[in-house]
Structures are given as structure tokens and as C-alpha cells.
Chain A
Amino acid sequence: MYIYDDIDQRLVDERVAQYRDQTRRFLAGELSDDEFRPLRLQNGLYIQRHAPMLRIAVPYGMLSSRQLRKLGDIAKRYDRGYGHFSTRQNLQLNWPKLEDTPDILAELATVEMHAIQTSGNCIRNITTDQFAGVAPDEVVDPRAMAEILRQWSTFHPEFALLPRKFKIAVSGTKQDRAVVQMHDIGMEFYLDAHNKLAIKVWVGGGLGRTPILGSVIREHLEWQHALTYCEAIIRTYNLYGRRDNAYKARIKILVKALGIEEFKKQVEAEWAHLKDGPNTITEAELSRVAKHFEPMPYETLPAHDSSFDSAIASNPAFAAWVKRCVHPHKTSGYRAVTLSLKKHGQAPGDATSEQMHTVADLADEYSFGELRVSHEQNLILADVKLSELFALWEKARTKGLATPNIGLLTDIICCPGGDFCSLANAKSIPIATAIQAQFDNLDYLHDIGDIEINISGCMNACGHHHIGHIGILGVDKDSAEFYQVSIGGKQGNDASIGSVIGPSFAAEEMPGVIQKLIDVYIKERTPEEHFIDTVRRIGLAPFKAHVYEKESANV
């Protein structure tokens, strides 16, 4: 992974000093609330329901074991002994004290970490596929470009105060796992007809109040121009995006208002001036950064391992875990492993300090000391030997990190919701745990198969509910917490935005509603058909009819 040199280190150190002084001035009354707000937000600090919330950047989801231990220590020392991994692959602390945040940032800086631009109206953490560098279907490892984008976007002077937040995702695989189409800018790296690295650029996607999938602004962009092209897009947005209404301020609204053709025309006109300028990426810079992401020193291993095969055959629990939590790897004899942070009854994406230490130890022992955070809010060990999976599983299991539910109904993607977040209309974690309790039978879960449930406590959509096969959105109905249900959303190359099935439900109805949706699927599915495929084939009506059956009968 990327290792800081003196320049990187000095920048984060100077950031700590700057933020420490800003916090001091705020506490001394020299900065007003309004003046401090954008400053603290650009350091990831929200003022929340119970306490501030601090969002720590995990650039494109990559962590070293040393960094994860530090996060565990910080959670223990400055918080309540746990943290929450978010859908932007970051880590959130729910209970830090404002006065402590400069010290937390100073601690983070000692392990090459920070909270820069994890919130606020600026370019946010760059996200990508959690299997970058190891996925068999990968065409280009996007991490070097993600790091180059990270550095370029860090304190970019022209884009320090945009109309609204700005999210960029990169991907280099055939099957998109970075949801590039729901980002302000999505970049899909590929090799063109001349075998040269090129980028397909999407713009204007996003969830929130107005969910829109991005439009392609350029089918083919040579990689050298990634930064200048982004500058042309963001400059156009910075100058012409709306600033009068925060709900209409994302780039998607501008793209929609102008139309993609007109927007593209303006961007290309701007880019004509920037193309080949100093921010054009050089071969030397790409290769310098790419050196940090070279393949691990893998051993030459056979594709099969007899001890692994016999463990699968003799141990059904291990076999179930392998089926759900172990993923293919580019290199023979290696696998990627997802450690589930979705143990039933626990807030999705939460990890205790102890679990963070355990995962760090497992990463050291089995996976070259590195790990990743997925946007589905789990942790990944990307480079585990086939022959060591069983030992890893036994250790992970004792710490509650081996729930075999990845991609299953209880692997729920969920924001912190009304328990923590002051923006939320409704709680989301209790809904997730109630659904997990309703479906707390592994055989049944495996029979239901691949399905994604996403829960957001408000339309800011941190839980990405629009792209859940089942999406749940907390709404406020006469000051009571209700939940609106949509189905048919999907991430990936054939991404779609779900449709609302009808009037919203009270919290206690939710497990029953999910049960009814699943019942229709089980009844209607063809063999090998996943929930989302059935929804796409038969449409909303049968689901709707069954879920609202009783109410209709009463009328």
C-alpha cells in the first residue's frame, strides 16, 4: 500500500497544527459556529445528537495492520471502545469530545492517517473495489490512480468550497463493484484497442434526495488527463452549480438542468485550456505510485490444497463460511476473505477495539499485514493462502468475525441512523437487527441466497437504500418514525434505482414486510434466480399485492 514520504507526512502534520489552532480559536470564541462549521467538517467532525462524530479517512479502503491497531486504540482511549465502518469505506467514531479531536488527529498522523475532507463541500474520500489488485476479473488495478487522485484532491485550492459534497469512485474491473454510476464522477479504467490505459468517465450520479445514475461524459480518456479532465468538470460545476439550495446543489442537478450534451460541451471547452497542462500525470509519477501497489510476494502454490478440501468435506460450518466469505483471487493458491461485521444482533459495520486488534493480528499472520474496508461495511483480508483458511476461520470465529452471511439477507448495509445522527428521520440499526432476528436461520438464509438490503435513516442515503435490492428509508410521518420500502435497486454494471412499493410502515411491521417480500420471491423464483432477477422479471405488482394484502382486504 502507499507509504508516505516526508512530503506526505509534513502535509498531515501541518493539517493537525492548523486544525488544532482552528479548534482553539473556536473554543476561545474567535470563530463563530458558522465559521468553524466548514473547517471542522473538512476534518470529518460533525456535531451530532449525543456528541461530535469524527469520520476518519481510509483512502480507497486500504489499511495496514498498524493503522487498524491505532484505530482500535483511539476508539478505546477517546471513545467507547468501538467504531463504525461506513459505506464510504471510512471509520466513524460516535463519541469523541470536541476538545480531544486535535489529539486524535495527531495520533492518526503518526500512522499516516487523517480525517481530511471526509465531510464538507469538497472532494471526499476516493473509493474503489475492495478486491482491487486481487480480483480475477480485474483489468487494471485502480489504486495507483486512486492515490494520485487523493493527493491531487487534498487541499485543492480551487475546489475547497464547492456548492456541495463531491464524490469520486474508480474501478478497474469488468464487473463494477465500486458503484461508479452513483458518484459525482465515476472513472472506469480499461485497456483500449491499443492496449493503453484509458478511462470511461461518468458524471452526475448520486443518491440522496434525487437519486440519479451518472451519464457517460467521455467514453475514452487517456489516463494522463485524469486530473485535468476532473478539473474541467469540477470548475464548470464550481462556477455554475446552484448554491442557493443545498438540496439542489449537487452536480447531478446541474447536469440534469443543462443536459449531458450541453454539460459535456462546456466541460470540453474548459478542458481544451487545461489539457496537457502541468497537472497532466507523467509516466514517472504513475510508476512511482504504482510501485506501492505491486503484487504481494506470493508463493508459488498449487490451485488445490488437500487439507482445505478435507476441511470443507468434514466441516459444514467451515464450508458454509467458505461459500459466503471466501472470494477468488488472481493468484493460484490464494483467496480473499471477508470478515463479516454483520453478526446478527450487532449494529452493521461496527467493530470493537478488540475486534480491530484481532483483525490486525489476522492480517499480520495471514495476509501480509494489510486489509481493506468494503463499501458494504465489512473488512477484507485480500491475500490468504488456501491452506490457511481453516486456521483463519477458527480464530475469526471466536471473535464474532466469521458470520457466514456475506451477500445474504442479514449482510445489511446500514447507516448509523437516528441513534446517533442528527440528520436522521428515523433509527436504522434497530430495523437491521430486527430483520436479522427474523431471519436468524442460516439454512434459510442460504436458501434465500444473494440479496442486498440497504437501510438509510434519511434521504441523505448514507445506507445507499436506492440501490438495495430491498431499500429501506426512514421517514418522518407526523413526528413518528416510519419506513418506506423500495425494491429493484441494484449496484453493478446494470445498476438501477429501486421503486417504492407503497405507503410506509411502522418499525415493528418491518420484519414482517421483509418476510412477505421474501415469500413472494420464494414462490415465484425459477431455479438459480436471485431475488433481484425475480423482481426484474415479474415486476413490482406481485410483491406489492402480497405486502399490502391484509390492508386491502379490510377496505
Chain B
Amino acid sequence: MSNLIKGNAIATDEWTIVQLPAAKEEVRKQAGKVVLFKLTGEDLPTSEQVAITVVPASGKILVPLAVWLARKAEFTDRLNQGKIGIWLATHEPLELLATTDLNLFPVIAVYVERFPDGRIFSLGNLLRTRYGYKNELRAFGDVLRDQLFFLKRSGFDSYLIRADRSAEDALAGLRDFSEPYQGAVDNTQPVWRRYSRQAAHPQPKKVAPSHATAGDLD
């Protein structure tokens, strides 16, 4: 059975994730990214890794961000057919995508190596709110039930649950809380803009919901 959740249900996964080959040696320091290296201690893929990445000749594929950036010409036709998506790791800067029309991709996926890495939430938020990405936003890697609620609120709408865990069980994680306090991506309005909450009246009255609210809060 598929371990993919799309929206609120288990779905078939049509996408193949293209992996980068393991890095061979020290990564060169790209100009302008020195601070990033120093602070996160994580490297971006090398040009050699990018060059030797093997891409399947057919089917829907998610290619690593660095591969897409360096080799986009190879993918033009498949992109037009809606068969190319990209994936990035949590330490890769979104600025690399500044000049790309993200909505050409049917899927963008973010890889989280270890679930306590909360950068994935900021990346999801920025892809939706700053970069205007509207299609499927997928989390994969160490994706577990107890982070799904936060992922959903941060703009993700598909979750490839770690292979040794049940996606069926994980569905419950999407419903942990019914009325969050703060505005986020899935529901931009904070609670005080959704309800008329009055100190004197413990029963809050619902105000006309914005479109973003409808259907998302159950």
C-alpha cells in the first residue's frame, strides 16, 4: 500500500525521486555562501554530483534542485508534459529559485533528513507565501505522524510517510487540533480574526469565515 498522504487521504504515488549520488570529497565553497556553510555546517551538492546524477528516461520524476538548475535544458519537453518536479533539502537556499516560475512544477518536494529539523516548516511557508507556489508541496524523508499538523499548517499538502510507519495511522496527526491560535499558511487568519472572542462571554461567536478557513479546520 502507498505510504503517501495527499490532502487528507492515502493516495497512489506517481512520482519517482531521483537521488543524488554520494558526495566524494570536500565541497568547494561557493562564493557568497560562506556564511551559510559556517552556520549550518551543511554542504550543497557538488557540480560533480550533479553531473553524474542518473535520471530515468521516462515517467514522472522529482529531480534534485541542483540537478534541475544545472541541467534544465535536458528537461524542457518533460517539464511541458507535466512530468518534472523538483526536490530540495532543508539546508538549500530558496533564493536559488528566485528566477524560476515554480508553478511549472506539478510537485515540489522538501526532504527532511531528521524529523527535528524544523527548517522544513519555514521553507514550506516561504514557498507558498513568498514564492507563490500553488501546486502540490510534498514532505519526504523522516516524515512522521506527530509533525503532520505543523507541516499542513506550513503549506504542505502531501506527505510521504517514512516507509516503516503506517500512513493510515498518520492521517490522525492531521487532525490534532481543531482551532489553532495563530494565522499560518493553511489558514492565514489568527483566531481573533476568525471569531469574535469576548472577555465577558466565554462562548465565542464565529465571524464570517474567510475562504481560507472553509473546510480546513475539521
Chain A: minimal CB distance from B90 (Å) = 9
For the residues of A in contact with B, the DSSP-based class is helix
Interface string of A1-25 (1 = CB under 8 A from B): 0011111001100110010011000
Q: Which residues of A contact B38 (CB under 8 A)?
A: 257
Q: Is the CB of A7 within 8 A of B204?
A: yes
Q: Is the CB of B184 within 8 A of A157?
A: yes
- Is B149 an interface residue when CB atoms closer than 8 A count as contact? yes
**Of listed B151, B154, B172, B179, residue having the most chain A CB within 10 A:** B179
Chain A: minimal CB distance from B121 (Å) = 4
**Of listed B115, B116, B191, residue having the most chain A CB within 10 A:** B116
Say which one of A201-209, A280-288, A301-309 lies at the interface with B: A280-288
- Is A540 an interface residue when CB atoms closer than 8 A count as contact? no
Q: In the complex the two chains form, what is the Cα distance from A26 to B198 in whole Å?
A: 39
Q: Which residues of B contact A155 (CB under 8 A)?
A: 149-150, 177, 180-181
- Is A244 an interface residue when CB atoms closer than 8 A count as contact? yes
A-B contact pairs, 11 of them (CB 8 A): A3-B199, A6-B204, A7-B179, A14-B178, A21-B172, A157-B152, A157-B182, A158-B125, A284-B192, A288-B192, A289-B199
- Is A227 an interface residue when CB atoms closer than 8 A count as contact? yes
Say which one of A189-197, A271-279, A368-376, A386-394 lies at the interface with B: A271-279
Say which one of A131-139, A234-242, A512-520, A530-538 lies at the interface with B: A234-242
Q: Is the CB of B202 within 8 A of A5?
A: yes
Q: In the complex the two chains form, what is the Cα distance from A254 to B40 in whole Å?
A: 10
- Chain B: which residue is nearest A240 at the CB level? B39
- Is B130 an interface residue when CB atoms closer than 8 A count as contact? yes
Say which one of A82-90, A159-167, A444-452 lies at the interface with B: A159-167
Interface on A for B, CB 8 Å cutoff? 3-7, 10-11, 14-15, 18, 21-22, 35, 38-39, 121, 151-152, 154-163, 227, 235, 238-245, 254, 257-258, 273, 277-279, 282, 284-285, 288-289, 291-292
Q: In the complex the two chains form, what is the Cα distance from A395 to B116 in whole Å?
A: 50
Q: Taking A158-B154, A160-B118, A238-B119 as contacts, is the C-beta distance between A3 and B202 under 8 angstroms?
A: yes
- Chain B: which residue is nearest A234 at the CB level? B122
- Chain B: which residue is nearest A158 at the CB level? B121
Q: Is the CB of B118 within 8 A of A14?
A: no
Q: Which residues of B contact A21 (CB under 8 A)?
A: 172
Q: Which residues of B contact A18 (CB under 8 A)?
A: 176-177
- Is B59 an interface residue when CB atoms closer than 8 A count as contact? no
Q: Taking A161-B117, A254-B39 as contacts, is the C-beta distance between A288 and B179 under 8 angstroms?
A: no
Give the bracket for the number of chain B residues in contact with chain A: 35 or more
- Is B195 an interface residue when CB atoms closer than 8 A count as contact? yes
- Is B60 an interface residue when CB atoms closer than 8 A count as contact? no
Q: In the complex the two chains form, what is the Cα distance from A18 to B201 in whole Å?
A: 28
Q: Is the CB of A278 within 8 A of B183?
A: yes
- Chain A: which residue is nearest B191 at the CB level? A7
Chain B: minimal CB distance from A490 (Å) = 31
Q: Is the CB of B154 within 8 A of A151?
A: no
A-B pairs, top 9 by smallest CB distance, nearest first, are A161-B118, A157-B153, A291-B199, A244-B41, A285-B192, A278-B183, A157-B150, A151-B181, A158-B121
Q: Is the CB of B178 within 8 A of A282?
A: no
Q: Is the CB of B40 within 8 A of A238?
A: no
Q: Is the CB of A278 within 8 A of B177?
A: no
Which one, A4, A14, A292, contacts B177 given CB within 8 A? Answer: A14
- Is B6 an interface residue when CB atoms closer than 8 A count as contact? no
Q: In the complex the two chains form, what is the Cα distance from A35 to B114 in whole Å?
A: 10
Chain A: minimal CB distance from B114 (Å) = 9
Q: In the complex the two chains form, what is the Cα distance from A14 to B172 in whole Å?
A: 12
Q: Is the CB of A160 within 8 A of B150?
A: yes
Q: Which residues of B contact A282 (CB under 8 A)?
A: 192-193
Q: Is the CB of B203 within 8 A of A242?
A: no
Q: Is the CB of B146 within 8 A of A39?
A: yes
Chain A: minimal CB distance from B65 (Å) = 16
Q: Which residues of A contact B191 (CB under 8 A)?
A: 7, 151
Q: Is the CB of A278 within 8 A of B197?
A: no
- Is B190 an interface residue when CB atoms closer than 8 A count as contact? yes
Q: Is the CB of B179 within 8 A of A278?
A: no
